[in-house]
Amino acid sequence: MTAATANLPNSAWRQYYALTKPRVVQLIVFCALIGMVLAVPGAPSMVELKLGLWACIGIWLVAGAAAAFNCLVEKTIDAKMKRTAWRPTAKGELSDRQALLFSGVLCALGSAVLYVMVNPLTMWLTFATFVGYAIVYTVILKPLTPQNIVIGGASGAMPPVLGWAAMTGQVGPEALILFLIIFLWTPPHFWALALYRVEDYRKSGLPMLPVTHGNEFTRLQILLYTIVLMASCLMPFVYGMSSWLYLVVALVLSVGFIGYAVALFRSYSDELARKTFRFSLIHLSVLFAALLLDHYIF
């Protein structure tokens, strides 16, 4: 057996793992975990901890399945873009059959875990999210309309709702507030990326907003969305889900995001667009971490 042959299993594992878009899935599970934590008053019991663990596993599996299906459908597009050309499906390292089978197995396994170990509502909501992202967004919306990320953002905003449903067996107004925050956060987050990757998207043929409506219009939309996003970020405090600790953090983050959007609108540069995109990631992560901290302190 040669060294190259010996490394094949490890190489194949890495390729399949890459299909699941690990960093994206980690953020999805983190947001779902926030929904779980906020749904449980005080410290969780051992039973609730086990329920939450199974929910995280099931959601991770189905989210990974959706990511793998996305890589399969967009392999030709991915091959044209520097940001995604490395993916195993784009490079031809995994066949369509392998990717489809992998996605199907993950989805079936994750759905079974959620149905048996959590509750049917969470399973159906998670499966609907899979269909929304893998089929409605990836296959239908993304190649047809520049509003793809706005409409398709509903799937990406579902994790807190899934987490809430896992712990309570229902979808409360608190979960819908968390959904709204992510829903409004998604467009400025992705449009900032699309601004400095516009040539990639132009080559791919995808009708992203900077390609169809231009740089200036996209920057205006980012600014408007960050303003509306700020209002949604205050809703957990207004509704009574959080205290002053969260409010202060939400205000600072929101003003920071709007500040980046204003600077980007006034004077564009690829570097500033990159900084805006990176700050958007910090914004959502720290915002939800503040919700988590606030929940246990007050």
Between CA 253 and CA 193, with CA 184 as vertex, the angle to 5 degrees is 80
Of 108, 143, 170, the residue that ends a domain is 170
Query: 9 CB contacts (<8 Å, ≥6 apart)?
Result: none
Q: Are residues 80 and 177 in the same domain?
A: no
Q: Average pLDDT for residues 237-260, to the nearest whole number?
A: 96
Q: Average pLDDT for residues 61-68, to the nearest whole number?
A: 94
At 210, list the tokens. Answer: 């900077």
To the nearest 10 degrees (0 to 180), the angle between helices 159-168 and 120-131 is 170
Q: b/e map of 224-235 (b: 16 or more CB within 10 Å)?
A: ebbeebbebbbb
Q: Are residues 50 and 123 in the same domain?
A: yes
Q: Is the pLDDT of residue 10 over 80?
A: no
- Over residues 135-173, the pLDDT tens digits come to 888 888 878 888 888 887 888 899 999 999 999 999 999
Query: 144 CB contacts (<8 Å, ≥6 apart)?
Result: 207
Of 148, 170, 192, the residue that ends a domain is 170
Which residue range forms the structural domain that includes residue 54?
8-170
Q: Is the pLDDT of residue 83 over 80?
A: no
Beta-carbon neighbour count of residue 24 at 10 Å?
A: 15
By the 8 A CB rule, do 88 and 21 touch?
Answer: no
- Over residues 55-64, the pLDDT tens digits come to 999 999 999 9
Domain count along the chain: 2
Is 278 domain-assigned? Answer: yes
**Confidence band of 233 (pLDDT split at 50, 70, 90):** very high
By the 8 A CB rule, do 65 and 104 touch?
Answer: yes
Q: Are residues 86 and 37 in the same domain?
A: yes
- Over residues 23-52, the pLDDT tens digits come to 889 889 989 999 999 999 888 899 999 999
CA-closest candidate to residue 119, choices 166, 159, 164, 162: 166
**No. of H helices and E strands in the chain?**
17, 0
At 263, list the tokens. Answer: 């600077």
